[in-house]
Amino acid sequence: MPQLIGPFKQLVSLTELPIKGALSDEQLTIIENAAVSIHQGKIEKIAPLKSFNTADFELIEIEEELVLTPGLIDAHTHMAWGGNRSRDYAMRMAGKTYQEILAAGGGIFDSVAKTQQESSEQLLQDLLTRVNRQLTDGVTTMEVKTGYGLLPEQEIRLLEIINQANLETTAELVPTCLAAHVCPSGFEKKDFLELIEKELLPVVKGKELAHRVDIFVEDNAFPVDLAKPYLLAAKNIGFDITIHADQFTTGGSELAIQIGAISADHLEASSSTEISMLAESEVVPIALPGASLGLGMQFTPARRLLDAGASLAIATDWNPGSAPMGDLLVQASLLGIYEKLSSAELLAGMTFRAANALGLPDRGRLAIGERADMIAFPVTDYRDIFYNQGKVKPSRVWVKGQEQ
C-alpha cells in the first residue's frame, strides 16, 4: 500500500525552478499543509493533505510543524582519508604559507602517507562515520573522491572502500577517481598521468568502481597542457569528467568547457572571462565555501555566475586539509550572506542543481516520479533554515521514502 506522509506546515518542491540562472524566492511555490504520497521509493503525488483520500494509504501523520524540502546533495567531497591535519590548520592560522607547511612535513602528502598507512577497516569505519553524520544533517546523496592514495593499487583500495561503504549506509555515495590529485615524489607529472591512464583507469572501468574522473588543474599540481590529454583519454574510455578548476589561477574552467566536463569545481579565481564562458556552457559550476573558509580566501563568485546565467551547485569539499568542517548547511548559509544569494538559489544549489552536477536526474526535487529523498526542518517558514545559519538541522530524514 502506498504511504502518505503529512501534513507539513510548508512543502518546498523546487519543481518550478530552471537549471541555470539567478533565482528569486518569489519563484518558489510553497504548498501549505501539504502531504506526499510515496510508492516503491518514489513520489506519486504532492498536494494539500485535504485533497487525498487517506483511506487509500498507509498514513504517517506528522504531528509537529515542519518544513519539507528535497534531500540535500553534496556534489564534491574527499571523505575517504586517514589521520588528520590539525597541525597544518594551526600553522595556517598562525600565518604560515602552504609552502612553509609543506616544508614542515604537512600538506596533502601528509594525508597521503597517513591514508596509505591506515588499515582498510579503519578507513571504512571513518568514512561511514562521516557519511552518516552527513545523512543525519540531511545530505542523502554525496560524492566521494579518492586522491589520498595516488598510486594505482592505493586508489583501487580507496574506491573499493567507498563502494563497500555504499553498501553499508542508506545514503547514496557517488565515487570519483581523483588519482590525479598531486604528483607523487619520484615521478614526472607527465609520466604519472600516463601511469594512471594506462594502469588504473582501465581497471576502475572494468570493475565498475567509478564512472567519474577528476583532476586538480593548477601549475603546481597538473597544468592544462598535461591535464587535457589525460582527461580526453579518460573520456574516451567512457568516464564522466569533473575538474578542480580556477582555485588559485585560471585555466581549469576553460579546459572543462573545451572537453565537455560535467562540472568545474572551486572557481575562486574565476574572472569575468571565465564566468561568461561558463554561463554559455552546460558545465555546472560548483562553489566550495568550506575551502574558502579553511584557507581564508575569497569565495567563488557565485552571485556573478548566477547573474551571468550560469548554474551553481554548492558543496562542502570536506577534506582533512583545506575544508575540515564538512557542514553543508552552515557553509551554504555563509556563502549566501556574503555572496547575496536568495534562499531559492541556496536550496537549488544543494538539491537539483547539485544532482545535475552528478548526472543524477532522478532526485533533487519533490516531483512525481523522483526518488522520495526528503528532509523536514523543525521550523514554520522555509526562510528560517538559512536565517539560523545552518544551526537548524533536519529533524526527520527519508531516503527512498524510508525514514532514517
Residue 3 has pLDDT above 90, yes or no: yes
Specify whether 235 is located in the same domain as 282.
yes
Range of the domain at 323: 73-357
In the predicted structure, residue 305 carries a pLDDT above the cut 80: yes
pLDDT at 96: 86
Shared domain check, 304 and 250: yes
Distance of alpha carbon 249 from alpha carbon 269, whole angstroms: 6
pLDDT at 103 over 90: no
* 386 shares a domain with 286: no
Question: Domains in the chain: how many in total?
Answer: 2
- CB-count burial class (<10 Å; 0-12, 13-18, 19+) for 153: exposed
Find the length of the chain.
404
Mean pLDDT of 184-194: 96
Pairing of strands 3-12, 58-61: parallel
- What integer is the mean pLDDT of 375-400? 98
Q: Mean pLDDT across the stretch 377-397?
A: 97
* Residues 88-103, mean pLDDT to the nearest whole number: 84
Mean local confidence (pLDDT), 337-352: 98
Please name the residues in contact with 348: beta carbons below 8 A apart, sequence gap of 6 or more. Answer: 14, 17, 23, 312
The answer to whether the beta carbons of residues 237 and 255 sit under 8 Å apart is no
CATH code where residue 50 lies: 2.30.40.10
Residue 63 confidence (pLDDT):
95
**Other CB atoms within 10 Å distance of the CB of residue 104:** 13
Residue 219 is predicted with a pLDDT of 92
- Residue 106's pLDDT is what? 82
Q: What pLDDT, on the 0 to 100 scale, is given for residue 287?
A: 99
State pLDDT tens for residues 124-155: 999 999 999 999 999 999 999 999 999 999 99
| Residue 314 and residue 184 in one domain | yes
Per-residue pLDDT, averaged over 344-364, amounts to 98
Q: Which pLDDT value is given to residue 217?
A: 98
State the average pLDDT for the chain: 97
247/330 same-domain check: yes
Q: Summarize pLDDT for 229-258 with one digit per residue, the tens.
A: 999 999 999 999 999 999 999 999 999 999
Mean pLDDT across the stretch 329-333?
Answer: 98
What pLDDT is attached to residue 326?
A: 97
Q: Is the pLDDT of residue 17 over 90?
A: yes
Of the chain, the percentage scoring pLDDT greater than 70 comes to 100
Mean pLDDT of 56-79: 97
pLDDT tier for residue 172 given thresholds of 50, 70 and 90:
very high
pLDDT score at 382: 98
Check whether residue 213 and residue 348 sit in a common domain.
Answer: yes
Same domain for 241 and 333?
yes
Do residues 236 and 270 both lie within one domain?
Answer: yes
1 — pLDDT class (breaks 50, 70, 90): confident
pLDDT at 98: 75
CATH of the domain at 209: 3.20.20.140
Q: What whole-number distance in Å separates Cα of residue 349 and Cα of residue 57?
A: 33
Closest to 265 (Cα-Cα) out of 76, 74, 22, 21: 76
Same domain? For 374 and 344 the reply is no
Q: Which of 331, 268, 302, 266 is nearest to 134 (CA)?
A: 331
Residues 83-110, mean pLDDT to the nearest whole number: 86
**pLDDT above 90: residue 101:** no
Percent of the chain residues past pLDDT 90, beyond the cut: 95
Has residue 59 got a pLDDT over 80? yes
Mean pLDDT along residues 346-353 = 98
Whether residue 54 is found in the same domain as residue 111: no
**CA 401 → CA 4, 45, 54, 151, 369, distances in Å?**
10, 13, 17, 40, 12
Are 209 and 109 members of one domain? yes
37 and 121 together in one domain: no
